[in-house]
Amino acid sequence: TYVVLKVQNLRSTTIDRRGSEPCWEQDFMFEISADGKGFIIELWKKGLLWDSILGVLWIPLATVEHATDEGPGAWWTLHSEVVKNGSEIQGTKSPTSYEILLDVYFALPF
């Protein structure tokens, strides 16, 4: 499995890991504009011919806290559907049995 993060016009991917409880321990840092609405996290399963999506999560930027250091993170339930208003993502729905542990925060300047 691997994770894809999408924020504004940026995209980043973890390396793929095997097992029923994969761990990436991977940090991502994005420099984004203040008018962003949120970001998408996708969990994918690597396949022989094509990959399949296991779940997706929309996190609104307005809900992200500011911090100076990493925290314990939180478990997030992944969903099977993306809710859109036209082409703009509004959220996700239909929870799956998959969860992901994330530590999400705005880094304060040093």
Task: Return the CATH number of 2-107, one of 3.40.50.720, 3.50.50.60, 1.10.287.310, 2.60.40.150.
Answer: 2.60.40.150
Q: Residue 81 and residue 79: Cα distance in Å, rounded? A: 6
| pTM higher than 0.85 | yes
Q: Residue 5 and residue 39: Cα distance in Å, rounded? A: 7
Residue 41, classified by CB atoms within 10 Å of its CB into exposed (0-12), middle (13-18) or buried (19+), is: buried
- pLDDT, one tens digit per residue, over 48-101 is 999 999 999 999 988 988 888 888 999 999 999 999 998 888 999 999 999 999
